[in-house]
Structure formats: C-alpha cells, structure tokens
C-alpha cells in the first residue's frame, strides 16, 4: 500500500447530504457517503422515524428501543433531525436545510415527494446547485414509476429468483438483501460522479436510480447472453455460470468446496494438486471441448479424488497450487476468516449502549487508509434536532416553540 507524506482529508469532507430515506437501500447509500467523510443529516418523521428502527433482525431488545440491527447496520456517521414535514413550519425547516446542502438523497415514491413538495423541481427551486438522488424500485417514467417495491419484489421482478437454486426447489430468493445494497452502491457511485460533474459545471442535477435496473446490471452477463442467443438461463444449483465441468461446488470428505476451473492452466494446476497428473495427457480432458464432451466421467473422477480429504485441506492445497477454490462457509465461519481481520473491514460503533455493535464498512480503500468508517454512532430519532436547528439559525426560543408544537422532536427514548 502506498504511503503519503501528509494526511489527506476524507474524500467527501465538506459535503453536506440530507438523508430523507428509510429501510435499507437509501440509508445504506448515505452511510457510505458518511463513511467517506460527508456530513449526513438524517431527516425523520416526528413520532415515527425510519421504519427499520423497530423491525427486522433477531434482537427484540434493540428493535424495541428503535435500534434494530438492520437500522444500526447503516445508521452510523449521521445526525438525526425529527420534523413534521406536513406542517408549514416543518417544511420551512427542511427548505432551510436543503438550501445549505450539497446532496439530497431520498427513496420515496414520486407521488409522496410531490405531496411534500420535495420533488426535484421544488428542491431545485430552493437550491439550484443541489444534487438530488432519487432511488425507486423501477425508476422514474414508465408504468411502474410510482409502484412500491422492496428487495424481495425486485428479486422476483428481475428474473434472478428463477435463476437461483435447483429446478426441484423452484424460484429461490438470495439469502441476503443484495438488491438493496447493490442499489445503495449504485446510488453512491452516481452521487460521487455527479459531485465531480458539478465541480466542472457548477450546476446541480437529478439522479434517477432504479432498483430493477441495478438488478439487471448485477446480472449483466446473463442478460447479454439471453438477448444474443434467446436461451433463457436455467436454475443450475451450485454449478458455475461458465458451465465448465470442473467449476462449481463439490463435496469433499467433510464439506463442500467451490472450484473455478475455467482456463487450461487452471485445469492443469487442479490435476497436479489432486495428484492426477495423467489428466493433463488424457484425450478425454485435453481441452475444454473434450472435457465438456466427457463431463460425466470427469465429474466422477473429480468427486472420487475430492472425497479423500477435507474441504479445509483441499482449500489450503489448492490455493497454494494456484487453483481458484474456496471452502463453502457459513456466515460465522466467513467472518472468522483471517482475511477479514487483516483488512479492518469490520467496524464497531463507538459507545457502550445498544448502538455499540460491529458492522461492515466499505469494500474499498482510497489511498493509505486502513478503512473508511463513520465518526459517530447511529443516532436516536431526533437526537440532534436542536443542534441542527441552531446551526440553521433558529433561536433557542424558536426551537422550544417548535418542540412544544410538535413540529420537531428532540430525542427519543
């Protein structure tokens, strides 16, 4: 890793983002921005807040305290302002906040944004230089632009479920909300690109992020193959997309190991590691075409060889021999991998209360940084309302009046 003579500021230092999001995809996007140094103000509804605060996860105590593990996962690095946007004074607070912001991130249906006067035209009228990032299930325009959607709906709509699992099991959802987090990454990429564009043009812009199109992008090779050939992808269980006979997941003496044998040099390395050098000269396996034609024979010999040792033993030997391989792990086993610890990928929120949990950080590093992590724990609903309003120019008396009128909420238990 390169070293730098002088510390450099965080990539998004000096950027203020207004986070009007809920559930997973939107909050994850702003968590990524906060982890890169942006100041993020989370705007929540008085008395309710982000719905994810109280649902999901397997920890009822945290969920009951509006600090559920799904909320905590992408809640760090933010301050919370709880405000009634349906009231004129509440909208005035939001307008003042947007006027001083660089980025506005929201993941609500367009009809709701129109009702609240937080559509792009209204927001741009308040601040022409703002970057407005809108995240929706299907994207703006088209017959589904106002349709509600969650990760599970998009997995169904994009065709991924019919490609996952085995034919006997039927369509299968992935075990984690990958479309939510994929969309969050796409939105973060878009915001960063728009900030760079604004630096060149001095103009704000509107970003339209589609969960459905994010899903299609994550399946790009399958989409292209179908459009080019007309062959719809089928459920292949644990077989690799490359369709190579020695690529996929295979049983060993005590578990499964995933192999990615797609190139000639990889097959030769596999033969050496398995102690089967004769495979390299066997006419049945001499090249990919021959191996495809004799796939059943190769699989039978491969299974017999793999059954002689454990998955741990094979993974160690294969990685040492240059064979793309990985033991099939549970999540707890994966998190115990020394590779995870060596990268400082996991980050513990500061503090000693219910918010002090360990969460993932960003999957990349910019420059000589060990990890990009937020600088504060996830906030309680409305925890920073008074602080933020003071920064916006409201007097102490005005803040007290707004609190008494329930236009804002100052902290929650």
Size of the chain in residues: 413
SS3 317: helix
Active-site option among 50, 119, 151, 180? 180
DSSP state of 379: P
Measured in whole angstroms, how far is the alpha carbon of residue 33 from the centre of its chain? 12
User: Is 180 one of the catalytic residues?
Assistant: yes
Angle in degrees, 0-180, between the axes of helices 311-320 and 264-273, rounded to the nearest 10: 130
E strand or H helix at 409, and its extent? strand 408-409
178-201 and 211-218 helices, crossing angle to 10°? 100
For residue 79, give the 3-state DSSP assignment.
strand
- Cα–Cα distance measured from residue 307 to residue 305, given in angstroms and rounded to the nearest whole number: 5
Q: Are 82 and 48 in contact (CB under 8 A)?
A: no
Using alpha carbons only, what angle is made at residue 230 by residues 224 and 236, rounded to the nearest 5 degrees? Answer: 75
Residue 133 · residue 191 · CB < 8 Å: yes
DSSP codes, 179-194 = HHHHHHHHHHHHHHHH
Round to whole Å and give the CA distance between 316 and 321: 9
DSSP letters spanning 43-59: EEETTT--GGGGSSSS-
CA–CA separation, 321 and 284 (whole Å): 23
DSSP calls for 218-242: HTHHHHHHHHHH-------TTB-TT
**Can you say how many angstroms the Cα of residue 300 is from the centroid of all Cα atoms in its chain?**
39
Specify the pairing of strand 205-210 against strand 247-251: unpaired
- Round to the nearest angstrom and report the end-to-end CA distance of the chain: 44
CB 169 within 8 A of CB 143: no
Q: How far apart are CA 375 and CA 300, in angstroms?
A: 54
Under DSSP, the state recorded for 364 is -
The residues assigned a catalytic role are 180
């Amino acid at each position: 890793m390169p070293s730098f003579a002088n510390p450099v500021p965080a990539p998004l230092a000096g950027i203020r983002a207004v986070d009007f999001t809920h559930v997973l995809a939107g909050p994850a996007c702003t968590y990524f921005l906060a982890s890169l140094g942006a100041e993020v103000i989370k705007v929540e509804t008085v008395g309710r807040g982000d719905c994810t605060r109280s649902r999901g996860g397997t920890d009822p105590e945290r969920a009951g305290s509006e600090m559920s593990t799904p909320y905590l996962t992408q809640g760090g690095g933010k301050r919370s302002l709880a405000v009634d946007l349906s009231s004129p004074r509440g909208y005035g607070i939001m307008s003042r906040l947007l006027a001083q912001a660089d980025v506005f991130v929201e993941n609500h249906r367009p009809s709701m944004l129109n009702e609240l006067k937080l559509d792009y035209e209204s927001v741009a009228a308040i601040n022409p230089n703002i970057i407005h990032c809108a995240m929706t299930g299907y994207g703006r325009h088209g017959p589904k632009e106002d349709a509600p959607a969650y990760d599970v709906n998009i997995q169904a709509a994009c065709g991924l479920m019919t490609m996952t699992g085995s034919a006997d099991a039927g369509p299968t959802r992935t075990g984690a909300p990958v479309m939510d987090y994929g969309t969050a990454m796409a939105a973060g990429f878009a915001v960063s690109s728009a900030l760079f564009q604004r630096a060149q043009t001095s103009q704000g812009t509107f970003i339209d992020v589609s969960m459905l199109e994010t899903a299609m992008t994550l399946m790009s090779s399958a989409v292209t193959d179908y459009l080019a050939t007309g062959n719809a992808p089928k459920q292949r269980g644990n077989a690799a997309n490359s369709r190579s006979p020695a690529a996929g997941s295979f049983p060993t003496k005590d578990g499964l190991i995933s192999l990615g044998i797609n190139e000639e040099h990889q097959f030769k390395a596999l033969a050496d590691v398995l102690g089967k050098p004769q495979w390299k000269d066997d006419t049945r396996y001499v090249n990919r075409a021959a191996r495809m034609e004799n796939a059943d024979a190769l699989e039978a010999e491969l299974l017999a060889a793999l059954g002689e040792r454990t998955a741990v033993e094979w993974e160690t030997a294969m990685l040492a021999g240059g064979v793309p391989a990985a033991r099939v792990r549970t999540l707890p086993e994966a998190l115990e991998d020394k590779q995870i610890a060596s990268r400082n990928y996991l980050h513990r929120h500061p503090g000693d209360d219910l918010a002090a949990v360990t969460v993932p950080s960003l999957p990349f590093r910019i420059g000589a940084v060990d990890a990009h992590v937020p600088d504060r724990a996830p906030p309680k609903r409305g925890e920073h309302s008074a602080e933020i309003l003071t920064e916006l120019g409201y007097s102490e008396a005005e803040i007290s009046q707004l609190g008494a009128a329930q236009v804002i909420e100052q902290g929650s238990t």
